[in-house]
């Protein structure tokens, strides 16, 4: 299984390079679909992520919604993700992996989170997720039992099947630029 996951990560990295020129346009469409998702609209507290260069770009979306909802962003602390409130661009600093992360207190009221946008290397139609292999979201998602979990990806990241382990958490839905379920 681990070798299959490694090969899928290589495949998706290659596809991302092929689609680099259209990534920002695709990202805007994905984030527009997310914005109209009924669970996102109904949620007061939302967990997003501040994207890496090869992920669906969330930067504009985070700034737009930062003052309208309580937005949380993950912060890498050792082998885990802590959640912190996004209080505007001035509250951000470069953290692990070169990602801008919010400073401030750790947010632990997991039951208050209504919607989670989850990045991934790939997803399948059953909601299975392939991450980057570090397990950050594998350790975080079990704590977010009340939240709707939406995988966020480009349509070429949707695969027929993802190999899974018993600890993998399925997404409740997937948002891409061509569909939202």
Q: What is the CATH number of the domain that holds 134?
A: 3.40.50.10420
Cα distance between residue 49 and residue 72, in whole Å: 8
Domain membership of residue 181 (yes or no) is no
Span 53-64, average pLDDT: 94
Query: What is the pLDDT of the chain when averaged over all its residues?
Result: 92
Span 39-48, average pLDDT: 98
Residue 180, pLDDT > 80, answer: no
What is the sign, positive or negative, of the torsion defined by CA atoms of 18, 151, 139, 58?
A: positive
pLDDT band for position 104 (50/70/90)?
confident
Span 105-121, average pLDDT: 96
Q: What is the pLDDT of residue 181?
A: 46
Q: How many residues does the chain have?
A: 181
Domain membership of residue 88 (yes or no) is yes
**Considering its fold, how many domains does the chain have in total?**
1
- pTM to 2 decimals? 0.92
Domain membership of residue 53 (yes or no) is yes
Domain limits for position 147: 2-175
Domain membership of residue 38 (yes or no) is yes
């Amino acid at each position: 299984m681990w070798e299959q996951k490694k090969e899928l990560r290589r495949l998706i990295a290659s596809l991302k390079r092929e689609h680099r020129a259209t990534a920002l346009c695709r990202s805007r469409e994905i984030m527009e679909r997310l914005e109209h998702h009924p669970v996102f609209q109904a949620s007061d507290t939302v967990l997003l992520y501040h994207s890496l260069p090869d992920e669906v770009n969330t930067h504009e979306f985070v700034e737009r919604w930062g003052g309208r909802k309580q937005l949380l962003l993950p912060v890498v602390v050792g082998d885990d993700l802590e959640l912190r409130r996004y209080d505007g661009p001035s509250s951000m600093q470069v953290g692990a992996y070169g990602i801008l992360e919010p400073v401030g207190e750790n947010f632990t009221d997991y039951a208050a989170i209504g919607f989670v946008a989850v990045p991934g290397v790939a997803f399948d139609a059953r909601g299975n997720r392939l991450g980057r292999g570090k397990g950050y979201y594998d350790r975080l998602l079990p704590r977010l039992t009340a939240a709707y979990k939406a995988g966020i990806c480009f349509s070429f990241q949707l695969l027929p099947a993802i190999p899974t382990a018993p600890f993998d958490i399925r997404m409740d839905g997937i948002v891409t630029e061509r569909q939202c379920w």
